[in-house]
Amino acid sequence: MAKLFQVTLPSGLSSVKLDSQGRATVQYTVKNVSARPIDGRAVLVSLPQTKPSSGCVEKGWVKIDGKTDRHFDPDKEETFTIKIAVPPKSPAGTCTFRMDAVWVQQPDQGDPGGAIVEVSLARTWATDNDIERVAEITALAEGGEGDSIVVLNPTSYRQVVAVVTGPGTVRVGPTTTAPAMTNAKPPKSVAAARQ
């Protein structure tokens, strides 16, 4: 039972799925259950705990957005937003963490958050070379002479242009960075090529 702080997640939340940019957010609620005013600090902990620590918190993939130290009157609740940002070429697996709340004046006293979050890390499935090949095949299959086909790599947000130059010939242009996108979905031709 919590002595100082009760740390909770929204009901039923235990796993998080990253968006197409490798990002997600989670909100923890911390409640002062000590019956006195107290200053609290939110602390993220990678799981399993190892020595030396080398989890997603230590890698900087999971961070508290905003102030970590807050004043809590008795029974007061505060919401802490956790931002998750996993680099695009991270290996597949999981990233597991929890948020604890400790007393600022005596940080060795506090309560571990029983609410654990597991983040699934998907393996990068498309390289820029894959996308160049998809653009070339798509242009040959679907384009007529002079047509341009643009294919976006949903992993790196780089795009490639393929131009049909004649019967059975395609010129693949340079791969460039596409404009920033949110929640991009893989092009159908890319998804079909990966099956």
- List, as one string, the DSSP characters of 25-86: EEEEEEEE-SSS-EEEEEEEEEES--SS--STTTTTSEEEES-SEEEE-TT-EEEEEEEEE-
Tell me the average pLDDT across 186-193: 42
- List, as one string, the DSSP characters of 129-177: HHHHHHHHHHHHHHPPTT-EEEEE-TTT-EEEEEEEEETTEEEE---EE
Winning range, highest mean pLDDT, from 22-26, 28-32, 123-127: 28-32
3-state class (DSSP) for residue 190: helix
pTM above 0.75, yes or no: no
CATH of 5-121, one of 3.40.50.880, 2.60.40.10, 2.40.10.120, 3.40.50.1100: 2.60.40.10
How far is Cα 77 from Cα 49, in angstroms, rounded to an integer?
27
In the chain, where the domains are located: 5-121, 128-194
Of the candidates 157, 162, 156, the one whose C-alpha atom is nearest the C-alpha of residue 142 is 162
How far is Cα 166 from Cα 144, in angstroms, rounded to an integer?
8
pLDDT digits (tens, 9 = 90+) for 160-175: 666 767 666 666 666 5
